[in-house]
C-alpha cells in the first residue's frame, strides 16, 4: 500500500526571524499490487488470444522407383500455366483453350462431373511464380479433384500452345 513518512521539524537558527517551514512528506508507494495486476492481465490476454494456425495441404509424393502409370487420354485434363499467368487447358488430344483464373473453378467442376475418374496434370512454366502453383492447387482442392499431378513445362508444351493460338 502507500505510506507517508513525516520529517521532523527543524529548529530556527539564532538571531533570525522565525518562519515556519512547510513540512515535507516523503511518500512511499508499494508497487507489489500493481505488478500483480499487470501480470494477471498479461496472463489473461495470453490465454484468451486466438492464434492463427498455419493452413497446410498434404501432398503425397510418389515413390522413387520410376514406375509408369497408364492413364486414358480421355481422363487426363492438362493445365498449362504460363509465366504471365495465362492458363491453357485441354483434355486428351484436343487443341488447348485458354481460361481465365476466375473461370477455372467452373471448368474443373464441369469436367469432373462429366468424368468422375478425372486426373489433372498441371504444368507451370519455370518463370512462373510459386503463388500460381499454389492457387491452382487450391482451386483443384476446392473443386474436389483429389487426383492431380505436376509435370515439368517443356519445349513441347510451348509449341503445343503456340500451334493452338
pLDDT given at position 51: 78
- Rounded to whole angstroms, how far apart are CA atoms 139 and 122? 12
Of 68-82, 111-125, 127-141, the range with the lowest mean pLDDT is 68-82
Flag whether pLDDT at 19 surpasses 70.
yes
What residues have CB less than 8 Å from 152, skipping those under 6 apart?
A: 123, 126
pLDDT at 17 over 70: no
pLDDT of residue 89: 92
Question: Given phi > 0 = left and psi -120 to 50 = alpha, else beta, which region is 16?
Answer: beta
In this structure, is residue 111 part of a structural domain?
A: yes
Q: What percent of the chain has pLDDT above 90?
A: 29
Residue 63 or 77, more confident: 77
Identify the CATH number of the domain in which residue 83 sits.
3.30.420.270
For residue 95, being part of any structural domain is answered with yes
Q: How far is CA 108 from CA 55, 63, 114, 134, 142, in A?
A: 23, 27, 10, 16, 10
pLDDT per residue as tens digits for the range 113-127: 998 888 999 999 988
Q: Is residue 25 part of a domain?
A: no
**What number is the average pLDDT over the span 60-85?**
80
Q: How many domains does the chain have?
A: 1
Say if 144 falls within a structural domain.
Answer: yes
Q: pTM for the complete prediction?
A: 0.60
The pLDDT, as a whole number, for residue 147 is 87
In a 13 Å sphere around the CA of 108, the CA atoms on its Cβ side amount to: 27
Q: Which domain holds residue 98?
A: 73-164
Q: Is residue 83 part of a domain?
A: yes
- Residue 49 included in any domain: no
Eight-state DSSP code of residue 126:
T
pLDDT digits (tens, 9 = 90+) for 78-91: 999 998 889 999 98
The predicted model gives 135-161 an average pLDDT of 89
Output the pLDDT for position 9.
Answer: 52
Q: pLDDT tens digit string along 23-55?
A: 888 888 888 899 999 999 999 999 888 877 777
Higher pLDDT, 64 or 27: 27
In a domain, residue 115? The reply is: yes
- Burial label for 2, CB within 10 Å (0-12, 13-18, 19+), is exposed
Do β-strands 148-152 and 25-29 pair in parallel, antiparallel, or remain unpaired? unpaired
Asked if residue 7 belongs to a domain, the reply is no
37 grid coordinates: 495486476
Amino acid at each position: 500500500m502507500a505510506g507517508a513518512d513525516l520529517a521532523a521539524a527543524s529548529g530556527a537558527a539564532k538571531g533570525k526571524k522565525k518562519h515556519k517551514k512547510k513540512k515535507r512528506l516523503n511518500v512511499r508507494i508499494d508497487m507489489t499490487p500493481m505488478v500483480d495486476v499487470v501480470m494477471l492481465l498479461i496472463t489473461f490476454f495470453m490465454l484468451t488470444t486466438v492464434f492463427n494456425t498455419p493452413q497446410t495441404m498434404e501432398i503425397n509424393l510418389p515413390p522413387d522407383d520410376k514406375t509408369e502409370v497408364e492413364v486414358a487420354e480421355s481422363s487426363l485434363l492438362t493445365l498449362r500455366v504460363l509465366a504471365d499467368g495465362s492458363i491453357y487447358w485441354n483434355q486428351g488430344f484436343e487443341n488447348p483453350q485458354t481460361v481465365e483464373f476466375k473461370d477455372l473453378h467452373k471448368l474443373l467442376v464441369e469436367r469432373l462431373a462429366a468424368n468422375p475418374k478425372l486426373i489433372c496434370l498441371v504444368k507451370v512454366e519455370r518463370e512462373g511464380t510459386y503463388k500460381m502453383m499454389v492457387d491452382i492447387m487450391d482451386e483443384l482442392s476446392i473443386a474436389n479433384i483429389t487426383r492431380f499431378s505436376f509435370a515439368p513445362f517443356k519445349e513441347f508444351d510451348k509449341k503445343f500452345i503456340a500451334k493452338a493460338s
